[in-house]
Amino acid sequence: MKPLTVQEIRSLYEKDKIVKFYKHRYWSKHIRLQALERDNNECQACKRLGEYRKGRNVHHIKELRDRPDLANNLETPQCHNAE
């Protein structure tokens, strides 16, 4: 399975179908899991504050909409929806 190209990601945003990116097998089976493993499944936002929480989600550090070229620029913050 190949990753989506920057052009394909931009096209999904333009067509308001970005959910297809997150359902894409390469995203869910490779990129997302690599970020979770790299961060030891720990919330990086909490870790910066000296706290420990399990991280189950990944979050684009730079918004995917603005920087599709950084689609794998992720961290594992459990609390990212609170931002």
Q: What angle do CA 74, 27, 32 make, to 5 degrees?
A: 40
pLDDT(68) > 80: yes
Paired residues of 54 in beta bridges: 42
Instruction: Supply the pLDDT for residue 7.
Output: 93
> Tens digit of pLDDT for each residue in 12-64?
989 999 898 888 888 888 888 988 999 898 888 888 889 888 877 888 888 88
> Using an 8 Å Cβ cutoff, are 21 and 72 in contact?
no
CA gap 63, 54 in Å, rounded: 23
Instruction: Supply the pLDDT for residue 67.
Output: 92
pLDDT(79) > 80: no
- The domain spans of the chain are 6-82
Instruction: Supply the pLDDT for residue 47.
Output: 85
